[in-house]
Structure formats: structure tokens, C-alpha cells
Amino acid sequence: MFGNWLKTSILMAGIVALFGAVGAMIGGRQGMLMALLFGGAMNVWAYWFSDKMVLRMYKARQVDEATSPYLYNMVRELAFRAQLPMPKVYIIDEAQPNAFATGRNPENAAVAATSGIMRMLSERELRGVMAHELAHVKNRDILISTISATVAGAISMLAQFGMFFGGRDEDRPNLVLQIMVMLLAPLAAMVIQMAISRTREFGADSGGAAISGDPDALADALAKMEAYSKGIPMHAAEAHPETAQMMIVNPLSGGGLRGLFSTHPSTQERIARLRSMVRV
């Protein structure tokens, strides 16, 4: 767990340093100041409103003990085991088996599951998945992923419009270097953001296994979701691919970019790590 946090801290420092460097390189001192102000405003907005925005994107409907006792009571029992406040519980009417957590802190968290995952997984497997999502809440991964996503987005926007920032400062580089930064900085930011997302998934797998007390249940659920999700598109995720990192398994059907450009670690590696917890 400490190793995951150390790696995440290094990656977060890297993306923030890249943000400042891009601002200074393509806009000089004035560009860097504008970048910091813009990025700060984006992070404040994301901190307070991103959860509501994502739930609205997925047309998630909130449920309670009366409307969905099976899921609600399961989350309540797991939240008690994790010593967390009871989060809001949502169901998304999508056939693909998937789930995510959102919210700025444990006191203002929500977990969401698709109708597909509730039909496809056994009760034991679904407990493993919801424990994984509660581990994200407990580790405050949602805040980390939100900040990394907004800073990465700010870097891309800054790179696109950076040539218009400021005047001709003596510390502003030549045109060729600016063009190189415009092309490479968004790519570097995306790579770092996705590395952060992959690192936090491993941490949530471990934390979720501890909450549920059944690592094999989450491993079985991941294997089943990996097998079925590729053939069942999730329409909301396809429309908003920037939210893919939130899901427990990659919801996007596109097959090209894997590995370095994946928001999720290899499902086979995740399963192997969970199985090894059982053997210890």
C-alpha cells in the first residue's frame, strides 16, 4: 500500500511540474501565471461539482433500502466493515457489467453499479466489486484522479492555446520549440494521468479484498467482467471517454491503444495479485 502511495505521489508531482513547465515554456512568465490561475479554477470546480456531473452523464438514479434493498444493504454492510460513512447508492441502466465511485471525500461519496453487473455477478462477486469501490472512497482516490484528470486537461488546453499567451518575453522559447511542446506535452500528461489511474486500481483491489475479506470474490468478478464487457458497449462511457478511468474495468470497446495508454492495469495481473493474497 505504501508503495502505491509513493508511486502516486511521484506521478502527481510529475504532472504538476509538467503543467508549470509547459506554462513557462510556451507563454513565459505571463503564460505560466495564466496557466496556474486557470488550472486552479478547474480544480476547484472539479472538487465541488465533478461527482454530480458524472452521475448526470450516466443518468444514474439514486436508490435506497426501499427501492433496491439488495444493493443498498450490501453497500451498508461493507461501509460498516470499512468504517466509512454510508455513501449514496446509484444504479445505472446499462447492460455492461461495471461500477464506479465518485465524490470529493468519504462524507460526500457515492457508489454506482450498472444493472448489468447486478444481473451477471453472484452476490459474493458483487460484494467484492462494491468493496473495491469503497476502497477508492477510503483511499480518497476519487480526489486524486479528479485532480490528475483536470490538470492533464489543462495541460492539453494550455498547449493548444499557449502560443497566444503573453507577449514576446525574453524567456519565451522559439517557435520550433513551442510547436514541439504543443505536440508532446498533452501526450506526456495523458501518460502520467493513466499511470496514476493504474496505480490506484491496484491499491483499491488490495483494499477491497481487505474490506470484503474475500480476495477470490473480486478476482472472480474481474475475470467475468473482462470476458463480457468487451462485447457489451457502455453508451455513456463511449460518449464521455474521459470518465473511463473511474470504472472498475475499462468500459471502452475500442481495441487499439493498450499498455502505456490504458487507464486500467492488465486484468490478468490484477487477478494474479488477488489470488496471491489468498495463498499468503
Residue 114: band (very low, low, confident or very high) from pLDDT cuts 50, 70, 90 = very high
Residue 52 sits at the vertex; the CA angle it makes with 48 and 56, to the nearest 5 degrees, is 155
Greater pLDDT, 18 or 247? 247
pLDDT at 179: 66
Greater pLDDT, 183 or 97? 97
pLDDT at 260: 45
DSSP state of 233: -
Residue 252: band (very low, low, confident or very high) from pLDDT cuts 50, 70, 90 = confident
pLDDT digits (tens, 9 = 90+) for 199-241: 789 989 999 999 999 999 999 999 999 988 878 989 888 888 7
pLDDT digits (tens, 9 = 90+) for 162-179: 555 444 455 555 566 666
Span 16-22, mean pLDDT?
Answer: 67
pLDDT at 44: 72
Cα–Cα distance measured from residue 246 to residue 243, given in angstroms and rounded to the nearest whole number: 6
Give the pairing type, strands 109-114 and 99-103.
antiparallel
* Residue 259: pLDDT over 60: no
pLDDT at 126: 98
pLDDT at 167: 46
* Residue 258: pLDDT over 50: no
Give me the chain's average pLDDT, please. 80
pLDDT digits (tens, 9 = 90+) for 34-75: 666 766 676 677 777 778 888 999 999 999 999 999 999 999
Catalytic residue positions? 133
Cα–Cα distance measured from residue 9 to residue 144, given in angstroms and rounded to the nearest whole number: 10
* Pick from 106, 121, 114, 191: nearest CA to 156: 191
Greater pLDDT, 53 or 28? 53
Q: Is residue 240 marked as binding?
A: no
Neighbours of 93 (CB within 10 A): 12
Is residue 204 classed exposed, middle or buried when 0-12, 13-18 and 19+ CB atoms within 10 A define those classes? buried
* Residue 193: pLDDT over 60: yes
